[in-house]
Amino acid sequence: MFAKTDPDRRTFLGGSDARIIMGNDDLALLRLWKEKRGEVEPDDLSKNLLVQLGTATEQLNLYWYEINTGQGVIDLQRRIFHPVHRWMAATLDGRVQQTGAVFEAKFMLPWNFSEEEAAEKHMAQLQHNMWVVAARTAVLSIITGGGKWVEIKIDADPLYQHLLLTAEKKFWRCVQSGEPPALFNIEAPRPRLEAVKVVDMSSSNHWAQLAATYLQTREAHGEHELAKSELKKLMPEDAKEAVGHGIRAKRSKSGAISFETQPMESGHAPIQ
């Protein structure tokens, strides 16, 4: 089934609208404003290949999420309006039955794909939908064109949601008044992703250089730390400073001992 334009979308702001309102494309913002005012027709999504790929893989995405997580998804394609701000709505891909999390299925291209960028790209939409349905968490279920499936969990961000609500209120007033909107320039919060990946850094030259330095200096670093520990033991308890053989040890008022190097005197050559 092909994704088509929904004429009712002119009467409310949804999650995909939030992404434009919180974005940095002033032409897209102006076009959205004209669409909501009925001055231009929405884009024909039936001719957008990426949108159609997302639509075509929604059922597979849902199936893959359920068999990999053991959790069910309900409220498929349900539209929910905010109980107070009736001009806000969320058309959900679904909700996770066990947790109530907003479920969002996405198809993304594999080139330069990263979980961080995917989460940032859809942050406004997810925060909007969580705000509308009073959910504390959201789940991005992503299938890439490279045959990879990724699950990303996002928590509700009250501060960002407050800014989002403020921006959407201003935009909706512009729709009603006829005054053209301006970009709000609100930066999306950086997603806090769970560290679960094992990454092969063999192809990174910079990693290789630093790894070689680490391995070369590891033993010397251990000897250095051991020497510091033993020097501290040798320093008398009532000594404020201890000097000799090219180093000076200083005791602070709190009792911490620090070291610094000093020029070697000819009469104090290192012991062989």
- Report the candidate in 44, 96, 47 with the shortest Cα–Cα distance to residue 75: 96
β-sheet bridge partners, residue 73: 96
- Report the candidate in 25, 4, 6 with the shortest Cα–Cα distance to residue 14: 6
pLDDT computed for residue 263 by the predictor: 82
Mean pLDDT in residue range 62-71: 94
Confidence grade of residue 7 (pLDDT, cut at 50, 70, 90): low
Q: What is the CATH architecture assignment of 7-177? A: Alpha-Beta Complex (3.90)
Domain residue limits, the chain = 7-177, 201-233, 235-272
Q: Is the pLDDT of residue 95 over 80?
A: yes
Question: What pTM did the predictor assign?
Answer: 0.68
Mean pLDDT in residue range 152-163: 93
* 223-251 pLDDT per residue, tens: 898 899 899 989 998 899 999 888 999 99
Which own/partner pairs from 84-90 qualify as long-range (CB within 8 Å, at least 24 positions apart)?
85/165, 85/169, 86/12, 87/11, 87/12, 87/13, 87/172, 88/12, 88/13, 88/128, 88/131, 88/132, 88/168, 89/12, 89/13, 89/14, 89/132, 90/14, 90/15, 90/128, 90/129, 90/132, 90/133
How far from 85 is each of 5, 88, 105, 136, 258, CA to CA, in Å? 23, 6, 26, 19, 61
How far from 177 is each of 36, 148, 172, CA to CA, in Å? 12, 46, 9
